[in-house]
Amino acid sequence: MTSNPALTVRRATERGHANHGWLDSWHTFSFADYYDPAHMGFRSLRVINDDKVAPKGGFPMHPHRDMEIFSYVLEGALAHEDSMGNKRVLNPGEIQLMRAGSGVRHSEFNPSASGRTHLLQIWITPATRGLEPAYTEWKPSGPSAGGKTLVISPDGRDGSATIAQDAFVHLLKLDGTASASHLLEEGRGLWLHVAKGDVEVNGIKLEAGDAVSLEQAGEVKVTATGGPAEALLFDLA
């Protein structure tokens, strides 16, 4: 086991960027008109889009298939409607997970007339194609122990939402100079995306939108550097 593994850094400013007026979006991996063969995804993690949606803006009904799609709202609200009959408004701190499977249609809008919506939309490739579409949500039940909460897993353990992939997604919420740690096992990969605030990861300073990845076993320690911070940590087969 390596105690201080080498991390690969992906800075926020290196990402793809598209501004459509109603949507200001940064792409961690190749998406739409942004293509970078060096950043096509990470293991089963295919998309991390950092989206800011203008008041009353949004994505009209459109199709997806064979992808596990989840949204995490950082600011404002996200109104979701899909062809499975779900109609929800997602608020900050909540995670919505949709299995597109054999095919589903959905729309996403900012319901506010004045405030923007800031969200992360993430796509993970499922282990099996053609699954029956499904929808679920994860909502915080209280403060997380040690600032780290499992929100998505293959088996729904600890109250997490279930995904059709060997992928564990942890939400890190740290205040002040609090820390959280994660031990990556041999053969797995880790991707950490900073959603809010500033953190230090194994001595590397990161800001919102920055990310680090790891492909060798070892421990990753994430420490807030003087204020509230949030990050999503992916542990992937």
CATH code at position 208: 2.60.120.10
Report how far residue 223's alpha carbon sits from residue 191's, in angstroms, rounded to the nearest whole number: 16
Q: Report, as an integer, the average pLDDT of 126-141.
A: 95
Phi-psi region of 142 (alpha: psi -120 to 50; beta: other; left: phi over 0): left
| Residue range of the domain that includes 165 | 142-236
Query: Would you state the pLDDT for residue 161?
Result: 95
- Of 123, 138, 153, the residue at which a domain comes to its end is 138
Query: Would you state the pLDDT for residue 5?
Result: 80
Query: Would you state the pLDDT for residue 145?
Result: 65
Report how far residue 203's alpha carbon sits from residue 15's, in angstroms, rounded to the nearest whole number: 22
Q: Are residues 134 and 148 both part of a single domain?
A: no
Q: Report, as an integer, the average pLDDT of 10-23.
A: 98
Report how far residue 9's alpha carbon sits from residue 1's, in angstroms, rounded to the nearest whole number: 21
Query: Would you state the pLDDT for residue 76?
Result: 98
Phi, psi of 8 (to 5 degrees): -100, 130
Q: Are residues 40 and 103 both part of a single domain?
A: yes
Q: Predicted confidence band at 140 (pLDDT cuts at 50, 70, 90)?
A: confident
Query: Would you state the pLDDT for residue 4?
Result: 63
Query: Would you state the pLDDT for residue 1?
Result: 36
Q: Report, as an integer, the average pLDDT of 55-61.
A: 97
Residues 6+ apart with CB under 8 A from 193: 28, 48, 120, 209, 210, 211, 231, 232, 234
Query: Would you state the pLDDT for residue 146?
Result: 74
Q: Predicted confidence band at 2 (pLDDT cuts at 50, 70, 90)?
A: very low
Query: Would you state the pLDDT for residue 68?
Result: 98
Contact predicate 80/86, CB 8 Å = yes
DSSP states along 99-131: E-TT-EEEEEE---SSS-EEEEEEEE--SSSSP
Give the count of domains, the chain: 2
**pLDDT reading at 64 higher than 60:** yes
Q: Report, as an integer, the average pLDDT of 121-148.
A: 90
Contact predicate 70/96, CB 8 Å = yes
Q: What is the DSSP letter of 34?
A: B
Q: Are residues 20 and 128 both part of a single domain?
A: yes
Report how far residue 48's alpha carbon sits from residue 45's, in angstroms, rounded to the nearest whole number: 8
pTM here is 0.96
- 186 burial (CB, 10 Å; 0-12 / 13-18 / 19+) is exposed
Q: What is the pLDDT of residues 175-224, one digit of tens each?
A: 989 999 999 999 999 999 999 999 999 999 999 999 999 999 999 999 99
Residue 7 lies in a domain: no
Residue 10 lies in a domain: no
Q: Are residues 35 and 132 both part of a single domain?
A: yes
Q: Are residues 41 and 103 both part of a single domain?
A: yes
Q: Are residues 45 and 95 both part of a single domain?
A: yes
The C-alpha angle with vertex 116 and arms to 90 and 161, in degrees rounded to 5, equals 25
Chain-centre distance of CA 10, in angstroms?
A: 15
Query: Would you state the pLDDT for residue 143?
Result: 62
Q: Are residues 167 and 119 both part of a single domain?
A: no
Q: Are residues 183 and 153 both part of a single domain?
A: yes
Q: Are residues 118 and 20 both part of a single domain?
A: yes
Query: Would you state the pLDDT for residue 86?
Result: 97
Query: Would you state the pLDDT for residue 219?
Result: 96
C-alpha closest to that of 223 among 203, 191, 196, 199: 199
Report how far residue 198's alpha carbon sits from residue 228's, in angstroms, rounded to the nearest whole number: 8
**pLDDT reading at 3 higher than 70:** no
> What is the number of other CB atoms lying within 10 angstroms of the CB of residue 100?
21
Q: Report, as an integer, the average pLDDT of 122-139.
A: 97
Q: Are residues 84 and 160 both part of a single domain?
A: no
Query: Would you state the pLDDT for residue 144?
Result: 67
